[in-house]
Each structure stands twice: as C-alpha cells, then as structure tokens.
Amino acid sequence: MPDDRILLAHLTDLHIGAGVGDADPARRAERVVSAIAALDPAPDAVVVSGDLTQLGEPAQYARVRELLAPLRMPVHVLPGNHDVRKALRDALLADVDTGPTDYLQYEARVKGLRLLVCDTIIPGEDGGRLCSKRIGWLEAALAADRTTPTIVAMHHPPLLTGIAEMDAIGLQPESRAQLAALLDGAPNVLRVIAGHVHRAMYSTCGGRAVFSCPSADVAIRLDLRPAPLGVLDEPPAYALHLLTGGELVTHVQPLP
Ligand SMILES: [Fe+2]
Ligand SMILES: [Fe+2]
C-alpha cells in the first residue's frame, strides 16, 4: 500500500488435509492465496486465523507453507482447534518470539497498525479458551499501548452465533467475559478478527467490533434451529481490513 493507508488481508480455516464431498481444501486455499497475491494495491500483511490443517500433521503444515508461498508480504498465523501447536510453530512460526510459554501469542506491526495475536485453543477439544496466562498477556499488551490502532486476532470469535452446535464449540463464556472486560478499556482496539465459524459474522465484545471471516474451506450452513452442523460448498472467501482516515473498514470478498 503506497500511501498512509494500511491494508491487512485475512484468510482462515484452510483445513489442509480435509475434504468434504468434492471440495478440495488445497485447491480452494490456492485460489484464495492467488487472489490475495494479485491484489493491487498489495496488502501490507496477511493474517491466517487458524485451522490451517485438518489434523495438525507436519506434512500438512509443509503443504500450507507451499500454498502460502506466493504471498510476498509478512504472513501472521495462529492456531485453531484443528492445529497442533508444536507442528505449527516448527513450520510457520520458527522466527517469531512467542514468549516463554507453549502458547502461540505474539505482537506484530503492520506499519502503524498493531496486531495482537492470541491463542484460544484447548488441545484435544474443539472449543476455545483464554486461560489466565493468555488473558494476562493480552491485558499487559493492551495496557502497554492505549493509542496505536490495534487489531486482536484469534481463532474462536468472542461471539454467540445462534447456531447451536457451533456455540457448543465456541469461546468459553468465562473467557468471553474476561476478554470483554479488557476490551472495554481499550478503545484503540478497532476490531477483533477471527475464524472458526466458517461464515462472515459481526458482533461486539466489550464494546469493540468483532468479525469472523468466511473460510477458504467449506462454509457452515446458516441454520438457527437446534440442528446438527451442516456444511455447504460455498465459494471460498477472504476479507480485507483497510485502515484509512483513522477508521478500519472490513471488506468480504467471495471468489467467483
Ligand atoms: Fe475451521
Ligand atoms: Fe475451528
């Protein structure tokens, strides 16, 4: 981005190694990456908000690396419930200081924008959580800078979807409440961005805007009845977060 605007591309839930029906997650991810790589102006950075693989196997992360290779700008990744921390770190975060714990949390700069990357996973479970260590890290990071425009990124969005089986594997209520209390005092957080729910959704947490990005992989059916989760072979999609004039606007772009 050549002027004072800042552009962050966002893709999520690649699920490399999975496959529902005829859907090929690698082919879908390839299409999203190609679209982002061809953008003019080019994004300043890319965030990939988890579920990079289906099973967290090293070979699947090797494939993710290949698929993300066309992106010439910094790519910031984080874990989802289908990921395995060590394998993800070895493949994609070897150069990133994630601190003294196992959690994959870190701060990144995208020009004048701050990105706070959180780890919401519970190994072996599909739901998400921010334990006291992770909340403590975020609290300190927010307290250290109350002015720089900030995006908080995580896999499990801090919102209720109304889709029963998705809410059963969402971010735990206690974590959402603790996060809301932190965000309530952090007006420079312009957006919380996430994946996991495989649909574009918008809500608030602690007065801050929350956005979940539609997935590169298949979508979850929008069904507000108490029904089993269904999947839909909808077009893969990505989002663009543009900081312009001090405001953050989020665009959602499905592929044709
Ligand atoms: Fe997912
Ligand atoms: Fe997920």
Q: Which ligand is nearest the CA of 81, by number?
A: 2
Q: Which ligand is nearest the CA of 53, by number?
A: 1
139 by Cβ neighbours in 10 Å (0-12 / 13-18 / 19+) ranks as middle
DSSP symbol at 19: -
Q: What is the pLDDT of residues 173-219, one digit of tens each?
A: 999 999 999 999 999 999 999 999 999 999 999 999 999 999 999 99
Q: What is the pLDDT of residues 90-100, one digit of tens each?
A: 999 999 999 88
Residue 62: pLDDT over 70: yes
193 CA to centre of ligand 2 in angstroms: 13
Question: 251, 196, 197, 203: which is closest to 49 by C-alpha?
Answer: 196
129 CA to centre of ligand 1 in angstroms: 16
Percent of the chain with pLDDT over 70: 98
Site of tokens 């993300």: 68
What pLDDT score was predicted for residue 2? 67
Ion ligand 1: residues, CB < 5 A: 13, 51
Q: Which ligand is nearest the CA of 11, by number?
A: 1
54 CA to centre of ligand 2 in angstroms: 9
What span, in angstroms and rounded, lies between the C-alpha atoms of 202 and 184? 17
Question: 28, 88, 93, 29: which is closest to 58 by C-alpha?
Answer: 88
Give the model's confidence band at 256: pLDDT under 50 very low, under 70 low, under 90 confident, else very high: confident
Question: 6, 3, 13, 8: which is closest to 214 by C-alpha?
Answer: 13
7 CA to centre of ligand 2 in angstroms: 25
